[in-house]
Amino acid sequence: MNDGSSGEYAIDVKGLNKRFGDKHVVKDVSLQVKRGEIFGFLGPNGSGKTTSIRMMCGLLTPDSGSGTCLGYDILQQSEQIKLHVGYMTQKFSYWEDLTIRENLDFVARVYGMKNRRQAVSQALDGLGLTSRADQLTASLSGGWKQRLALAACMLHEPDLLLLDEPTAGVDPTARRDFWEELHGLAARGISVLVSTHYMDEAERCHKLAYIAYGRLLVQGTASEVIAGQTLTTWAIYGENLVELSQKLRGQPGVDQTVEFGASVHISGKNAEELERTIRAATEGFGLRIQKIDTSLEDVFIYMMKQSQDNFERGA
């Protein structure tokens, strides 16, 4: 058995499967996360993200598959894994009627930390919570609650953080600050697996994976994920764009239309056919058209629609 101290990968799992009753929620998921890497895990609600994360860190036993987390076997050494992993759940799960310091002290007691007062003080200082240490948790904003949850995860100095949609419902400034903290942790060699719905956060990850209906569809850097879909995208600016978008759907070369405020993005696999269709549809209407780089958001919308087509029937 590995002692968890060596190896290139913080997570290295192969062929993970999980069923709940007759529902196959995770299907042959294989994933590798390097040490010191921020790995983004994306997908629609109900896609199997949380179940996959829980299996990767030994909190849930897969029906089949194998792998290691921090060098420990996910099937045989789940207790050792838990000692070295910080897990931040999607739902805030700390005590509203305790202060920040009292919450962290309680968590330190759960871990059986002998130097818990020092650890709590370091956690408060490290995440800028010292000035609010004696404030009741119930009075905190979403951003400050998020910092408390991250501080609690870091108390036992884990080597891996598993974060399940940690910034849901948090304002943009707090999200940005949170991600600066994550990059600081990664620079210290701590690995981070984070699930998110936000494209700006996905772009800040070193690597990405996209899961839909239990299947892992793609993984790699943001540029690799975009290039892998081989989409060409045009932006159209002007009036009556919703009507134009509806008109273009299903036309030759058009695989996707998405409204973005003052523009509509039109994407397709067949670049020449797509351009012909767009030019014919916009000629004489005073619209401005521009070929643009396909964005990560364009790609994920496309993959979500394709996954529904592929997996909903008999999945």
Of 248, 267, 47, the C-alpha closest to 165 is 47
Counting residues of the chain whose pLDDT is more than 90, the rounded percentage is: 53
Q: Write down the pLDDT at residue 313.
A: 47
Residue 150 neighbours by CB under 8 Å, 6+ apart: 88, 127, 166, 178, 181
What 3-state class would DSSP assign to 250? coil
Tell me the range of 15-19, 132-136, 209-213 where mean pLDDT is highest. 15-19
Of 37 and 113, which is predicted with more confidence? 37
Strand partners, 163: 88, 194
186-241 tens-digit pLDDT: 999 999 999 888 888 899 999 999 998 899 999 999 999 999 999 999 999 998 89
Cβ-contact 42, 202 below 8 angstroms? yes
Amino acid identity at 24: H
Q: Write down the pLDDT at residue 308.
A: 60
What is the C-alpha to C-alpha distance for residues 58 and 76, in angstroms, rounded to an integer? 9
Residue 207 neighbours by CB under 8 Å, 6+ apart: 33, 34, 37, 38, 39, 40, 219, 220, 221
Q: Write down the pLDDT at residue 156.
A: 85
Residue 17 has pLDDT above 70, yes or no: yes
- The CA-based dihedral angle spanning residues 301, 29, 9, 228, taken in that order and rounded to the nearest 10 degrees: -40
**Structural domains present in the chain:** 9-225 (3.40.50.300), 230-293 (3.30.70.100)
Q: Write down the pLDDT at residue 26.
A: 95
The maximal CA–CA distance of the chain, rounded, in angstroms, is 76
Cβ-contact 194, 38 below 8 angstroms? yes
What is the C-alpha to C-alpha distance for residues 112 and 87, in angstroms, rounded to an integer? 17
Q: Write down the pLDDT at residue 165.
A: 83
239: left (phi over 0), alpha (psi -120 to 50) or beta: beta
Of 114, 134, 127, 177, the C-alpha closest to 154 is 127
Cβ-contact 278, 236 below 8 angstroms? yes
Q: Write down the pLDDT at residue 76.
A: 94
In this prediction, residue 113 has a pLDDT band, given cuts at 50, 70 and 90, of: confident
Q: Write down the pLDDT at residue 27.
A: 95
Secondary structure string (H, E, C) spanning 204-232: CCCEEEEEECCEEEEEECHHHHHHHCCCE
What is the C-alpha to C-alpha distance for residues 165 and 219, in angstroms, rounded to an integer? 18
What CA–CA distances, in Å, run from 24 to 38, 58, 67, 163? Answer: 28, 19, 20, 23
Task: Indicate the average pLDDT of the chain.
Answer: 88
Residue 8 has pLDDT above 70, yes or no: yes
Average pLDDT of 282-289?
A: 92
Amino acid identity at 100: I
Q: Write down the pLDDT at residue 55.
A: 93
User: Which residue is listed with tokens 């273009």?
Assistant: 248
Average pLDDT of 285-303?
A: 93
What is the C-alpha to C-alpha distance for residues 218 and 252, in angstroms, rounded to an integer? 26
Q: Write down the pLDDT at residue 315.
A: 43
Average pLDDT of 75-94?
A: 86
Of 126 and 80, which is predicted with more confidence? 80
Q: Which two tokens mark 132?
A: 């609010």
141-156 tens-digit pLDDT: 888 888 888 888 888 8
In this prediction, residue 314 has a pLDDT band, given cuts at 50, 70 and 90, of: very low
Of 269 and 200, which is predicted with more confidence? 269
Counting residues of the chain whose pLDDT is more than 70, the rounded percentage is: 96
